[in-house]
């Protein structure tokens, strides 16, 4: 499929229409560079995050794609301008996220690393919002080894490893490693204030998370730059 360099696709796996509708309301208020169009690509009934994202990747003609959770509200109206600027100035950057780590923890869990960056607002309980704050991102942004999957933006397509990750965990850290395998860089941009709200609720890590972690370590463990 020929890629459209003037189109950006917003891709989400959706199982809560009300939550996704709120996500879309924020997307429709984002400022876009002149001549750039946006398309919404909701994926319903996906068997896994990686499978849903891979199907959407193949279906969309947009060169630029933003993969985001249905419970993300983008409050930074000019976030697309920032992505556009980075991608245009740095063609070696393949993947951009809002939070992540400089070097991975040897256990494969990015938030256990010594240097984590980025900040987002979180809503875990109704009417209560708290700030998830890592180290501040320098003005020029910072290169990362792994990025969190609440928001991932790409300018180059790389297949999602739906052959390995058949659930809802570690698809994002796998993507980070796949981009790095191809010699591309990962970036976390600087923002003056947290660029999004994550309506995460209270979620527990279940057995499927540990299974996915072991799959991740088996595939990528020897490539991790521990930190």
Task: Report pTM.
Answer: 0.95
Q: Given this model, what pLDDT does residue 1 score?
A: 58
- pLDDT per residue over 150-169, tens digit each? 999 999 999 999 999 999 99
Residue 146 has pLDDT above 70, yes or no: yes
Residue 127 has pLDDT above 90, yes or no: no
- pLDDT per residue over 79-115, tens digit each? 999 999 999 999 999 999 999 999 999 999 999 999 9
Cβ-count burial 103-128 (b if 16+ within 10 Å, e if not): bbbeebbbeebeebbbbbbbbeeeee
Residue 2 has pLDDT above 70, yes or no: no
CATH for the stretch 3-223: 3.90.550.10
- pLDDT per residue over 158-214, tens digit each? 999 999 999 999 999 999 999 999 999 999 999 999 999 999 876 777 899 999 999
- Summarize the confidence of residues 15-42 as an average pLDDT: 97
């Amino acid at each position: 499929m020929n890629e459209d360099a003037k189109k950006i696709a917003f891709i989400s796996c959706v199982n809560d229409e009300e939550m996704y509708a709120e996500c879309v309301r924020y997307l429709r208020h984002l400022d876009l560079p002149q001549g750039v169009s946006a398309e919404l690509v909701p994926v319903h009934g996906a068997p896994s995050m990686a499978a849903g994202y891979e199907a959407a990747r193949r279906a969309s003609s947009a060169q630029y794609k933003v993969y985001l959770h249905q419970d993300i509200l983008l409050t930074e109206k000019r976030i697309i301008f920032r992505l556009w600027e980075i991608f245009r100035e740095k063609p070696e950057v393949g993947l951009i996220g809002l939070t992540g780590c400089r070097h991975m923890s040897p256990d494969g869990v990015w938030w256990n690393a010594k240097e984590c960056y980025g900040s987002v607002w979180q809503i875990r309980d109704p009417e209560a919002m708290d700030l998830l704050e890592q180290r501040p991102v320098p003005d020029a942004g910072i290169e990362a080894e792994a990025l969190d999957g609440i928001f991932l933006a790409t300018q180059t397509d790389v297949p999602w490893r739906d052959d390995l990750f058949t659930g809802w965990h570690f698809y994002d850290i796998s993507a980070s490693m796949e981009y790095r395998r191809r010699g591309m860089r990962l970036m976390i941009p600087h923002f003056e204030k947290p660029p999004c709200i994550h309506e995460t609720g209270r979620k527990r890590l279940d057995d499927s998370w540990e299974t996915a972690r072991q799959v991740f370590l088996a595939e990528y463990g020897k490539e991790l730059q521990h930190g």
